[in-house]
Amino acid sequence: MSKELVLYFSVYGTAKAVAEEIAKQTGADLKEIEPVVPYDSDRNHYNALAAYAKKEHDENMRPAIKNEINIADYDTIYIGYPMWWYTFPMIIYTLFDKYDFSGKTIIPFNTHMGSRDGGTYKTIQKLEPNAKVLRGLPVEMGTAESSSALAVSKWLNSLK
């Protein structure tokens, strides 16, 4: 088994597309963070999702994760998510509450519509002080959907 894992949360599929590109270029395993209560992925319902996500954020909720994630087998874990309300979705807090990434190397990436990483890479280092957090990759939504291959390969090379 590969010692690298690409772990991602995605509702509209763009963080998923970047995750798949990273897995393709690195040969890492790929795993989705699945919520117990699914989010509405119909982009016509954006306002409803925005309101729901804001409530989760304002109430500091910890949406439950449905699937078990084996992080023990991996030394290096890429973690990807969309930017939601200037930070990561609250389910990413659930991930860091539930799993201990001490001793692991975390490589974050995210999709966004202008906020870039919104300071979330620093938040990850605060939440996981005993992990090594490498320089992350923010990918604008349109690029994530059309092709992130070049951005991903340049970034992966810069981490070597």
Q: Does 19 bind ligand FMN (CB under 6 A)?
A: no
Extended beta strands in the chain, E state: 4-8, 29-32, 76-82, 105-112, 132-133, 137-140
Q: Does 48 bind ligand FMN (CB under 6 A)?
A: no
Nearer residue to ligand FMN within complex by CB, 11 or 77: 11
C-alpha angle 37/108/138, rounded to 5°?
95
Single out the segment in contact with ligand FMN by CB under 6 A; choices: 14-22, 24-32, 63-71, 146-154.
Answer: 14-22
| Number of residues that this document lists for the chain | 160
Q: Does 83 bind ligand FMN (CB under 6 A)?
A: yes
Query: In which residue are the tokens 């090379």 written?
Result: 157
Query: Can you say how many angstroms the Cα of residue 38 is from the centroid of all Cα atoms in its chain?
Result: 16
Instruction: Tell me which of 113, 149, 150, 159 binds ligand FMN, using CB under 6 A.
Output: 113
Count of helix runs (H) and strand runs (E) in the chain: 6, 6
Nearer residue to ligand FMN within complex by CB, 6 or 15: 15
Instruction: Tell me which of 29, 32, 49, 62 binds ligand FMN, using CB under 6 A.
Output: 49
- What is the binding site for ligand FMN (CB under 6 A)? 10-16, 49-50, 53, 82-86, 111-115, 141, 144
